[in-house]
């Protein structure tokens, strides 16, 4: 096969997969698969959004749950108080998350490495405490907020959220790919490699980091808004979950944080493992599955610290050069 055909195939296959996923609900599958789809696409979208700041610039945020929760609460409040549709207000949720990221980004993005990670982790823990202590009429306090269901039957409901999350996953992945391949992404990569050197060749690191952080927070806020409507219930423990903040990091690292494909692959692998564990061992306590994630993370960091994609690329390259050497010998 020549190179041009290979390139066409490389573009065609992902779009064919997306098309298949899009038409999948119309074959009336078991509702279980639609629910898995919603969660899978959500994590692909979240992890790809996280990767823009966490993977490309190396500023590993462990506090993206804060943006997710802000989006979720915004949508819930606007629906309950004013009856605005979450499918529109999710954009407002994203904007609010972005504004919040802009405000906290200036001080927090001055910190580097583990200090940045710790500060964002604290942020992710602090925001729900603020929300739960707000007046009950506003955020529902410790009771949370219940939203009215979409007036359709459960299968149609799942199908709607399945398609929306699929669209969000595609959009987030495309944005993340654009971000990596543009001037913006090259600048972020330079910051990850060496921030002060990047500055001395004209990279405005403060502005780039803030932009990446805000863009990332916006996308996560939108996704949080849609998730809130999917669950029809928001509470600080469900939408400001620290596990979510950590999961999206693990997914990106597993797949390969320096690449745009990494989060897609990482999220897919982890969600599939998760579903297999749940269906194979129905009584499995959540702690045990978390233990298994931990084990995966340790193994990945030990044997493929740059993620699966990098690992496979290196392997392919070494095989190609070995094959080349054999050719020469013949």
Partner 1 sequence: MMLEGRNVTKRFGGLLALSDLSFQVEKNEIVGLIGPNGSGKTTLFNTISGLYKPDAGRLFLKGVDITRKKPFQIARMGLGRTFQIVQPFEEMTVLENVAIGDLYGSGEGSIMKSRDKALEILEFVGMKQKPSMLAADLTLPDRKRLEVARALATNPDIILLDEVFAGLNETEINESIALIFKIRDNKGITIFMVEHVLSAIMKTCSRVIVLDYGQKLAEGTPQEVSRNPRVIEAYLGGAVCSK
- Interface residue list for partner 1 (CB under 8 A): 181-183, 186-187, 189-190, 192-194, 196-205, 258
Smallest separation (angstroms) from partner 1 to the CB of 207: 9
Smallest separation (angstroms) from partner 1 to the CB of 156: 45
Cα–Cα distance measured from residue 232 to residue 224, given in angstroms and rounded to the nearest whole number: 12
Smallest separation (angstroms) from partner 1 to the CB of 180: 12
CB of 167 or CB of 186, closer to partner 1: 186
List of long-range contacts for 103-108, beta carbons under 8 Å, 24+ apart:
105/209, 105/210, 105/213, 105/214, 106/210
CB of 140 or CB of 187, closer to partner 1: 187
CB of 96 or CB of 198, closer to partner 1: 198
CB of 201 or CB of 328, closer to partner 1: 201
CB of 189 or CB of 238, closer to partner 1: 189
Smallest separation (angstroms) from partner 1 to the CB of 196: 6
Cα–Cα distance measured from residue 267 to residue 171, given in angstroms and rounded to the nearest whole number: 16
Note whether 48 and 176 are within 8 A (CB).
yes
CB of 200 or CB of 329, closer to partner 1: 200
Beta-carbon count within 10 A of 171 CB: 15
Smallest separation (angstroms) from partner 1 to the CB of 231: 39
Query: Looking up tokens 């506003």, which residue turns up?
Result: 138
Query: What does the block give as tokens for 93?
Result: 């949720």
Smallest separation (angstroms) from partner 1 to the CB of 192: 8
B/e letters for 231-270, b = 16+ CB within 10 Å, e = fewer, are: ebbbbbeebbbeebbbbbbbbbbbbbbbbbbbbbbbbbeb
Closest CA to 261 of 226, 312, 187: 312
Smallest separation (angstroms) from partner 1 to the CB of 202: 3
Note whether 270 and 43 are within 8 A (CB).
yes
CB of 38 or CB of 180, closer to partner 1: 180
How big, in percent rounded to 5, are the helix, strand and coil portions of the chain? 80, 0, 20
CB of 140 or CB of 255, closer to partner 1: 255
Smallest separation (angstroms) from partner 1 to the CB of 28: 46
SS3 category, 234: strand
Cα–Cα distance measured from residue 280 to residue 134, given in angstroms and rounded to the nearest whole number: 42
């Amino acid at each position: 096969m020549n190179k041009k055909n290979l390139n066409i195939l490389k573009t065609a296959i992902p779009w064919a997969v997306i098309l298949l996923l899009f038409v999948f609900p119309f074959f009336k599958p078991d509702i279980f698969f639609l629910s898995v789809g919603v969660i899978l696409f959500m994590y692909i979208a979240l992890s790809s959004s996280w990767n823009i700041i966490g993977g490309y610039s190396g500023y590993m945020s462990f506090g993206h749950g804060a943006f997710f929760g802000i989006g979720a609460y915004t949508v819930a409040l606007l629906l309950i108080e004013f009856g605005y549709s979450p499918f529109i207000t999710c954009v407002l949720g994203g904007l609010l998350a972005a504004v919040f990221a802009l405000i906290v980004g200036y001080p927090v993005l001055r910190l580097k490495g583990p200090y940045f990670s710790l500060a964002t982790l604290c942020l992710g823990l602090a925001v729900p405490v603020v929300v739960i202590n707000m007046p009950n009429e506003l955020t529902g306090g410790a009771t949370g907020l219940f939203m009215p269901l979409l007036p359709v039957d459960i299968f149609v409901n799942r199908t709607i959220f399945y398609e929306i999350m699929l669209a969000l996953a595609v959009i987030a992945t495309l944005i993340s790919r654009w971000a990596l391949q543009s001037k913006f992404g090259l600048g972020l990569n330079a910051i990850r490699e060496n921030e002060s050197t990047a500055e001395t060749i004209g990279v405005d690191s403060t502005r780039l980091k803030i932009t990446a952080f805000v863009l990332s927070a916006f996308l996560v806020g939108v996704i949080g808004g849609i998730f809130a409507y999917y669950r029809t219930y928001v509470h600080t423990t469900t939408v400001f979950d620290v596990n979510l903040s950590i999961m999206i990091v693990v997914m990106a690292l597993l797949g390969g944080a320096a690449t745009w494909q990494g989060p897609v692959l990482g999220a897919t692998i982890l969600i599939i493992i998760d579903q297999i564990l749940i269906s194979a061992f129905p009584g499995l306590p959540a702690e045990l599955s978390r233990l298994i994630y931990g084990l995966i993370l340790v193994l990945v960091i030990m044997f493929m610290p740059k993620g699966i994609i990098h690992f496979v690329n290196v392997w392919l390259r070494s095989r190609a050069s070995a094959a080349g050497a054999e050719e020469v010998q013949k």
